Amino acid sequence: MQKILLDVTRLISRLYDGLLPTGVDRVGLAYIQRYGQAAHAVLSERGFSFLLNKSDSKAAFDILLSSNSDRSKIRKFIVRAWLNRNTRYRDDRAILLHTSHSGMEFQRYHRTMARQSIRTVFMVHDLIPLTHAEYCRAGVDHTHRRRIHTALVHASGLIANSQATLDSLAEEAENTGIAMPPSVIAHLAPGVDHRPPGVPPIDTPYFVILGTIEPRKNHWFLLHVWRRLVEQMGDAAPKLVIIGRRGWECENVVDMLERCAPLRGVVVEEPNCSDERLHAWLQHARALLFPSFVEGYGMPLVEALTLQVPVLASDLPVFHEIASDVPDYLDPLDGPGWLTRIWAYAQPDSAERAAQIARIAHFREPTWAEHFEQVDRFLDSLH
C-alpha cells in the first residue's frame, strides 16, 4: 500500500497568521480528512523541507482541522516538529501530495524528495498568472511560471481541478517544449459542510459576491452596476454583500466602498466571515454573483448551486464545464445585461429566478468521494 505524505506548509502559515481558509485551503483540509489518519506531514521554507514523525503529523492535522490559531502554540509545535523531524525517511512507495502552489518553484524541494525516493504529485489550480498577468500582483507571473515549469519537469504526476486548467497546463508544456507528466482531472466539491437553513442575516433582498477582492473578480464593475441600481430604484434597491477580505491592487474598489455616497448602507462587507455566517448569507440570497474575468475552477459556484441558490456568472468555459446550462451567463463587461438581470432576480415573483431554480434541480454537485476516487485511481496507476 502506498504511503501518503501531505505538504501542509501553506495551511500552517495561514492559520498562524489568523487568516480564514480560501478555496485552495479548503482543498488542503479535505486531503487531510481523507488521508490524515495514516499520512505524514511535510513542512517547507523556500524549498528546504522536513518530514514530521507520526506523532507530530497527527498533531499538525489536529491543529489544522480544529482551526486552533493560537500563535504561541503553533510556534512551539513547529519548533518541536523540527527537533523531532524524520531525517532518515526513505520509501519508494511514498507519494507526496501537494495541494497548494506554495513552494512548488524550488528545485531543491523536488531534489530532496527524489533523494528519499518519494514521488511528488501536485495539484494545479490555475495558470492565471501566466495567461492573465494583468490581474495579478507584479512578479507573480515569473514565480508561477517557475512553479509550473518545475512541476512539469520534476513531478511524478499532476492533478488538475478542471479540464480548463489541464488544457492551459498542456498548452504551456507544449509552448515550452516540456513533456507533460501523467495527469488527471478531479473536480472539487463544496469547501464547506452542509448546514440546516438558518435565519436570514438581513430582512431585505440581497445578492452575494464571494471571494478575495482582487482585479480579476471584477468587484469594481459590480459596484458601478450597484450605483446605477440605487439611482434607478432608490430605497427599493437590493443590497450587495461582499464576502471576502480586501486583497491586492484593489484601490479603485476601496475608493468606491469608502467614498461613494450612493452605496453607503447598500453594500455590506464581510471580510472575516465564518462558515456558519457564510451559509446563512448564501442560503437566503437572491443569487450569487460571479462576474470574474477568468477562473481556474469556481468553488463558490458549486457551493451556491449545492444550496439551491441561483447564480449569475461570467460566460467562462470552466463554469459551463462545472454547471452546464444551470446558471445565467453574461459577459463580464456587459453592464446593462447585469443590471437588467439583477433587477429581475430582485423581484419577489421573478420568473427568471424561478426558471433557474427549476434548472438547479438537475445540477449534480461534485463530491469529495468522487474526487478521491479519481485521485486514488491515479495514484495507483503511478505505482
Query: Do 344 and 270 have their domain in common?
Result: yes
Q: What is the CATH number of the domain that holds 297?
A: 3.40.50.2000
Query: Do 241 and 318 have their domain in common?
Result: yes
C-alpha dist (Å) from residue 32 to 37, 53, 58, 214, 352: 8, 16, 10, 28, 40
Identify the sign of the CA torsion 194, 197, 202, 207.
positive
Query: Do 58 and 167 have their domain in common?
Result: yes
- The reply to whether 287 falls in a domain is yes
Of 371 and 93, the one with more pLDDT: 371
Query: Do 180 and 261 have their domain in common?
Result: no
User: What gap in Å lies between CA 121 and CA 251, rounded to an integer?
Assistant: 37
**For residues 53 and 39, is the Cβ–Cβ distance under 8 A?**
no
**For residues 353 and 287, is the Cβ–Cβ distance under 8 A?**
yes
| pLDDT surpasses 90 at 192 | no
Q: pLDDT, tens digit, for every residue of 221-276?
A: 999 999 999 999 999 999 999 999 999 889 999 999 999 999 999 999 999 898 88
- The reply to whether 158 falls in a domain is yes
89: left (phi over 0), alpha (psi -120 to 50) or beta: beta
**Which pLDDT does position 86 carry in this prediction?**
75
Say what the pTM is.
0.93
Query: Do 372 and 354 have their domain in common?
Result: no
Query: Do 175 and 268 have their domain in common?
Result: no
The per-residue pLDDT of the chain, averaged, comes to: 93
C-alpha angle 51-76-44 in degrees, rounded to nearest 5: 30
Q: pLDDT, tens digit, for every residue of 133-164?
A: 999 999 999 999 999 999 999 999 999 999 99
* Mode of pairing for the β-strands spanning 183-185 and 206-210: unpaired
Query: Do 32 and 181 have their domain in common?
Result: yes
Q: pLDDT, tens digit, for every residue of 70-95?
A: 889 899 988 988 888 876 777 778 99
- The reply to whether 135 falls in a domain is yes
Average pLDDT of span 52-65:
93
The total domain count for the chain is: 2
- The per-residue b/e assignment along 199-210, b for 16 or more CB within 10 angstroms, e otherwise, is eeeeeebbbbbb
**For residues 8 and 63, is the Cβ–Cβ distance under 8 A?**
no
Query: Do 245 and 288 have their domain in common?
Result: yes
Instruction: Please name the residues in contact with 149: beta carbons below 8 A apart, sequence gap of 6 or more.
Output: 176, 178
Average pLDDT of span 51-68:
91
- The reply to whether 133 falls in a domain is yes
Query: Do 218 and 179 have their domain in common?
Result: no
- Residue 213 DSSP one-character state: B
- The reply to whether 23 falls in a domain is yes
Of 87 and 168, the one with more pLDDT: 168
Q: pLDDT, tens digit, for every residue of 261-299?
A: 999 999 999 998 988 899 999 999 999 999 999 999 999
- The reply to whether 198 falls in a domain is no
User: What gap in Å lies between CA 173 and CA 152, rounded to an integer?
Assistant: 7
**Which pLDDT does position 1 carry in this prediction?**
58
**Which pLDDT does position 324 carry in this prediction?**
96
**For residues 303 and 282, is the Cβ–Cβ distance under 8 A?**
yes
The parent domain of residue 111 ranges over 3-189+368-382
Query: Do 229 and 341 have their domain in common?
Result: yes
Query: Do 376 and 347 have their domain in common?
Result: no
Q: What is the CATH number of the domain that holds 119?
A: 3.40.50
For 206-351, list the strands marked E by DSSP.
Answer: 206-210, 239-243, 267-270, 288-290, 311-314, 328-330
Q: pLDDT, tens digit, for every residue of 97-128?
A: 999 998 888 888 988 888 888 999 999 999 99
- The reply to whether 199 falls in a domain is no
User: What gap in Å lies between CA 266 and CA 202, rounded to an integer?
Assistant: 12
Amino acid at 287: A
Query: Do 145 and 258 have their domain in common?
Result: no
Q: pLDDT, tens digit, for every residue of 332-365?
A: 999 999 999 999 999 999 999 999 999 999 999 9
**Grid coordinates standing for 358?**
427549476
User: What gap in Å lies between CA 103 and CA 159, rounded to an integer?
Assistant: 16
DSSP conformation letters of 64-132: HHHT---HHHHHHHHHHHHHT-BSS---TTEEEEE-SSTTTT-HHHHHHHHHTT-EEEEEE---HHHH-
**For residues 205 and 239, is the Cβ–Cβ distance under 8 A?**
yes
